[in-house]
Structure 1
Amino acid sequence: MKFRANLILSVFLLVVTPIVITSLVTMEAADRALQAQNLKTGYPLSLEKIEIARLRENIVYIVIIGTVVSLTGAGIFTSELSGSVNKIKQGLDNLSHDANTAIDVQRGIMGEIATSINQLAEKLRETRSHRDALLECSPNGIITIDKFGKIILFNPAASSLSGIPPGTALGANYQEIGLPPALVRPLAAALTKQPTDMTKEEIISRPDGNSIAVAISTSSLHDEEETVGALAIIIDLREKRLLEAQVLRANRLAGLGELAAGIAHEIRNPLTAVKGYSQVLDDELELDDPRREYTAVIVKEVNRLDRIVQGLLDFARPSASRFELVNLNQIIEETLVLIAKPAFKHRIELRKEYGEKVLAEVDKDQIKQILLNLFINAGQAIQDQGTIRIVTEQKEEQAVIRIIDSGPGISQAIIDKLFDPFFTTKEEGTGLGLAIAHQLIELHGGKIEIHSRLNAGTEFKLILPLRQGSDLNV
């Protein structure tokens, strides 16, 4: 606005004013010339003719001044219009690189155009924001490639499932970044419009050596005339497979529990008779009779069978839980007293990393039974010298106990069977300790996770709800 006013003022000062002054001076000179002519010719001009002559001269000067003013106004308008158009053009160029760019709003019709463009850009930003949030938060992996195989989209879930960082994937060819063959094949088929299964379950191997179960769905991306790319959606099936395994295991253990209860009762009665008669025979033998060794072996083995039978009963029909709000750190300390033998202390260093007041509603006796079994197993896993770390913490609505040993680790094949009844790697083990521990932790609405690497130790992670009856978000 200031520039335009200055321009108009300059035009008047430099152009219009000189013309006006010149016209006045010229008109005065013309009057004198007419008067001189009158005196010379002796024929005076009438006032009417003099006014007509002056009017003609005024019209000429008015036309000249109007033309100059019109040209000046047209120049000013054209300059402003050109400036507004250039600003909008520059703003559109900036928008193509940065969606957050706003065009300076101008007056008049160009200002309305700029405002409309800014409103459209705002809607596009909102749409892009929603799209990005959807892709970022989606639990499913989403990959898109163009017709040349270059990866255009690779969301965080795709990175997590494939094990390939997004920075490595974006812009690279999908066949050259180490994607699992089970994913490369359907993408290649989608690019060439070959018929593919709508959704296919696969086991994919990631670069870190781990394998996971996924469902892969692929489709072609095309416009009206040709294929412009391909889309792959990867669905994580680990949770589904875990739930299926839990249901199968629960059904299997339910039948096994009923069978175990019946067998336990049938075995316990003969065992009682065998033990009783062995003790009678032992009492009738002389103190130096070598046959007393046989009766001692019989009693020892009967006691061992009785422990197995009791384990079967505990597994088949665990005692009712009596929940109360307790400090888990205190329960751990009370359990450690039971294994605090000199031999244990000499070989193993305990490292306690307790959270402050980790409180949860649990059955104290059942939690002690679980912890005792895990502490003994951790101690037995350490052959010579080693450490056991005990970490407790409270996370939102969960209490977590982690028991980490420095033993040789456990292979995945063994981990898959650890909670199965009667599975054991110990010569004298019954294979019921961890099965009962798993059952008791489920009675609390929690779960046990195992993380182990060969020659790098094992971690047992107990996850418990803080309150019974609340949902466990694990």
Structure 2
Amino acid sequence: MTLRAKILAYIIAVHVALGAAAWFVIDAWFNVSELRFLLFAVEALFVLSIAISARLMRALFVPIDVLRTGAELLAERDFTSHFAPVGQPEFDALVDVYNRMAERLREERLGAEEQHQLLEKIVEASPAGIVICDFDGNIARANPAAERLLTPELRSELATVATGESRLVTNRGARRVRVRRAEFRDRGFAKSFFVIEELTEELRLSEKAAYEKLIRMMSHEVNNSVGAVRSLLESSLRYAPQVGEADRDDFANALQVASARMDALNRFMAAFAEVVRIPPPAKTRTNVAELVERVAALLRPELARRAIALDLKLDDRRAFDVDPNQLEQVVLNIFRNAIDAVARDGAVFVTLRDGVLAIGDTGPGIAGSVRSELFTPFFTTKRDGRGLGLTIVQEILANHGLAFSLENRPGGGAEFRIAF
């Protein structure tokens, strides 16, 4: 039973008891002529008492009702409603305190919501990927930049990053990102978040500047030395008639071999210099499918000689804005890498669908130990390789602004993908 019901029952019981007592006294002690007047007087007193009781109950319960309503509004987090004074000084002071408290809570909540919205917009617009985990360490939220970078490989890598650690991770074979892990408190419990920064272009430009400087220095030193040695060899050849007839042929052959090695060294340095001299792409509308078919036709004799099957599925026949000469060099390089990776009786798969060119093979795939080094200048796993092929490919595709990746295929082998 509520307090209101208890007080109301008490007032009714008191008035019934008093009424019964009054009737008993009137009936016992007063004659009939006086009874009528007393009845009217008692009835008037009863009505007045009930009215006073009702007014007192209202004065008592209006503040209680206000308090109850205020508690309900606070529970519902409604801080916009305010109460008017009720005319009782003691309670009006309480109403004023409640109204000021509600106004302050409203302002604080509004400020918190505005700050939250600002942080939301900053996180959404951030070029860095931001990943927030739940209390169990599972990914609860990722901003658009993180969604573009997250791959199954990177997701598994995140679980191994310790709090406070910063790590450089190779993603999708060609892309490199820096992952940093930190913590914040949510309702008293620690939650993790990751900041993922795309460093591919930054590192590529840094490495490019380094190997360009190295190649220029090597070219300068080698060319100067080769020029001087060639001059000496040519001068030495003029002394051939002065050499004894028995040694003359050996003398001339030795000088010619040395001269040929100088030519080979010149060609070797010229190949390195190609990386430095890649011009900006001269883009024209190019049918990529036809370009791939030309490269495939060029390599068919080698494929046949090594008994390697070629599966071409070029469904997308659209033209794209690319430099045909540079793209042909890229496709040829990727083709050759696929052929070199495949054993006899293997296969090379080429598809062009929805603007994505994929060149895959049935080779051994990419070993985890070399994955992060694939596009590093001068790094190679081939016995006679120079480590420049994928560097040139990366430079050309980056100059075109094309996204690319080099990954292991689910069924075995590797696959190079270019998105036009």
The TM-score bracket by the shorter chain reads 0.5 to 0.7
Say whether the 8 Å CA contact 1:415–1:450 is kept in structure 2.
Answer: no
From 345, 349, 367, the counterpart of 1:411: 367
Tell me, what secondary structure is at the counterpart of 1:326? strand
Tell me, what secondary structure is at the counterpart of 1:250? helix
Deviation per CA, 1:230-260, whole angstroms, max 9, x where unpaired? Answer: 7977554x535x4563243122222244246
Say whether the 8 Å CA contact 1:136–1:156 is kept in structure 2.
Answer: no
Say whether the 8 Å CA contact 1:219–1:232 is kept in structure 2.
Answer: yes
1:390 matched to 2:365: no
Unaligned runs of 5+ in 2: 1-14, 87-94, 170-175, 238-256
Q: What amino acid does structure 2 have at the position aligned with 1:70? A: I
Change (3 A) 1:326 1:453: closer
Deviation per CA, 1:407-448, whole angstroms, max 9, x where unpaired? Answer: 211234434444455543334444433233233223324465
Cross-structure match for 1:72: 54
Deviation per CA, 1:273-310, whole angstroms, max 9, x where unpaired? Answer: 99xx9xxxxxxxxxxxxxxxxxxx99x99998786465
Change (3 A) 1:376 1:251: same
1:432 matched to 2:388: yes
Tell me, what secondary structure is at the counterpart of 2:349? strand
Cross-structure match for 1:253: 211
Cross-structure match for 2:296: 336
- The whole-number CA distance in structure 1 between the counterparts of 2:110 and 2:56 is 37
How far residue 383 of structure 1 moved from its aligned partner, in angstroms, is 1.6
Identity %: 17
- The whole-number CA distance in structure 2 between the counterparts of 1:372 and 1:334 is 10
Unaligned runs of 5+ in 1: 1-14, 38-52, 145-149, 167-177, 184-199, 206-210, 222-227, 278-296, 395-399, 465-474
Alignment of 1:14-413 (within 5 A): 33=33, 60-75=42-57, 82=64, 85-93=67-75, 95=76, 116=102, 119=106, 123=110, 126=113, 129-130=116-117, 133=120, 137=124, 139=129, 156=141, 182-183=162-163, 202-203=166-167, 214=179, 235-236=195-196, 239-240=198-199, 242=200, 245-259=203-217, 262=220, 263=222, 308=268, 311-318=271-278, 321-341=281-301, 343=304, 347-350=308-311, 352=313, 357=318, 360-384=320-344, 385-393=346-354, 401-413=357-369
**How many residue pairs get matched?**
344
Say whether the 8 Å CA contact 2:280–2:399 is kept in structure 1.
Answer: no
Q: What amino acid does structure 1 have at the position aligned with 2:113? A: E
- The whole-number CA distance in structure 2 between the counterparts of 1:123 and 1:156 is 24
Say whether the 8 Å CA contact 1:438–1:447 is kept in structure 2.
Answer: no
Q: What amino acid does structure 1 have at the position aligned with 2:361? A: D
- The whole-number CA distance in structure 2 between the counterparts of 1:427 and 1:334 is 28
Tell me, what secondary structure is at the counterpart of 2:418? strand
Q: What amino acid does structure 1 have at the position aligned with 2:351? A: I
- The whole-number CA distance in structure 1 between the counterparts of 2:340 and 2:388 is 16
Change (3 A) 1:59 1:131: farther
Q: Choose between structure 1 and 2 for higher RCO, CA contacts under 8 A separated by at least 6 residues.
A: 2
How far residue 213 of structure 1 moved from its aligned partner, in angstroms, is 5.2
Tell me the TM-score normalized by structure 1: 0.51
How far residue 339 of structure 1 moved from its aligned partner, in angstroms, is 2.6
Tell me the TM-score normalized by structure 2: 0.56
- The whole-number CA distance in structure 1 between the counterparts of 2:388 and 2:80 is 76
Q: What amino acid does structure 2 have at the position aligned with 1:388? A: F
Tell me, what secondary structure is at the counterpart of 2:407? strand
How far residue 378 of structure 1 moved from its aligned partner, in angstroms, is 1.3
RMSD, aligned CA: 6.0
Change (3 A) 1:356 1:316: closer
How far residue 104 of structure 1 moved from its aligned partner, in angstroms, is 11
- The whole-number CA distance in structure 2 between the counterparts of 1:233 and 1:334 is 49
